[in-house]
Amino acid sequence: MTSPAPSDAAGAAGAGTPPVVLDQVSVSIGGRPILRDVDLTVRVGDMVTLLGPNGSGKSTLVRAVTGLLPHTRGTVRLFGTPIGDFADWQRLGFVPQRSTATGGVPATVREVVASGRVGRRRLLRPTGAADRRAVESALEVVGLADRASYGVSQLSGGQQQRVLIARALAGEPDLLVLDEPTAGVDLPNQQALADALARLKERGATILLVAHEIGPMMPLIDRSVVMRDGLVAYDGPPLTQEVAAHTHHAHEHDLPGGHDHAPHVASPFDWERGGRA
């Protein structure tokens, strides 16, 4: 079975349009600046990692990219369209940070992954052959085809994280955004995640990844971006987290310390009622 294919919506004409462009983007939460004048371009087919200490703005940046958090200044463009005008959300797949796969609702692995097809179906249209193929393919990519009928609660934390990735893949996105998918995940599951991302890269997927631990994913990375105090301190060839921790500040401004996670904001990816966005 083949990996889920990117959306045909991109088309040949837009094949070279960067999926993500941030131009002088700033974000504030409760009046406190979190991102300051950030420039970032993620090109088609690239795997870009966002590195940096807690409070540096990594998670805030991906929430601005996925529409979970409004920016207060600058421009965010998705596939060439300003985010305020962007409507083709099925082109994005988002795997949030430290979320449960079911939000407390009993469900099988296949049911959770199938929920990723909702954006691809017309209202009230029943599940079709294309939906079933996409779900089975996504399960195969993350190595959980043999556990499709298991209850998600029966899986380990690392396996549940792979279920969330499969759900995002089932929507056949052109851009996959992952917020610390390896946090608290053991090495075998980190390797399984890396294997899944490697298969996606082989078919040209664009991946934006927030990470504290690079581990087995290091060979897949095309570019590293290091965040410090809401600023881009480094943007260049791949770095390990250990090297990134010693990257010098790009600017000498300091912000009050704090957590870089945004409060709950409704968005197209607000799929967990009462859960973490």
| pTM (whole model) above 0.85 | no
Which tokens hold the place of 170?
């089932």
Q: What is the pLDDT of residue 109?
A: 94
Collapse the DSSP code of 73 into the 3-class scheme (helix H, G, I; strand E, B; otherwise coil) and give the result. Answer: strand
95-134 tens-digit pLDDT: 887 655 555 568 999 999 998 887 665 555 566 788 899 9
Per-residue pLDDT of the chain (277 residues; tens, 9 = 90+): 444 555 444 443 345 899 999 999 999 998 899 999 999 999 999 999 999 988 899 999 999 999 999 999 999 999 999 999 999 988 899 988 765 555 556 899 999 999 888 766 555 556 678 889 999 999 998 889 999 999 998 898 888 888 998 998 888 889 999 998 887 778 888 888 888 888 888 888 899 999 877 889 999 999 999 999 999 999 999 987 666 666 544 343 433 333 444 333 334 444 443 333 3
CA angle 70, 74, 80 (to 5 degrees): 85
Q: What is the pLDDT of residue 13?
A: 35
**Packing angle between helix 157-170 and helix 129-141, nearest 10 degrees?**
140
- Token look-up 């974000």 returns 27
- Token look-up 């990723």 returns 116
H-helix or E-strand spanning residue 108? none
Q: Which amino acid is it at 45?
A: G
C-beta of residue 210 within 8 angstroms of C-beta of residue 226: no
C-beta of residue 214 within 8 angstroms of C-beta of residue 221: yes
Name, in order, each residue with C-beta under 8 angstroms of 82's C-beta and a sequence gap of 6 or more. 75, 76
- The count of other CB atoms within 10 Å of the CB of residue 138 is 31
Q: What is the pLDDT of residue 106?
A: 80
33-57 tens-digit pLDDT: 999 999 999 999 999 999 998 889 9
Q: What is the pLDDT of residue 207?
A: 95
What residues does 98 pair with on adjacent strands? none
**Packing angle between helix 187-202 and helix 157-170, nearest 10 degrees?**
20
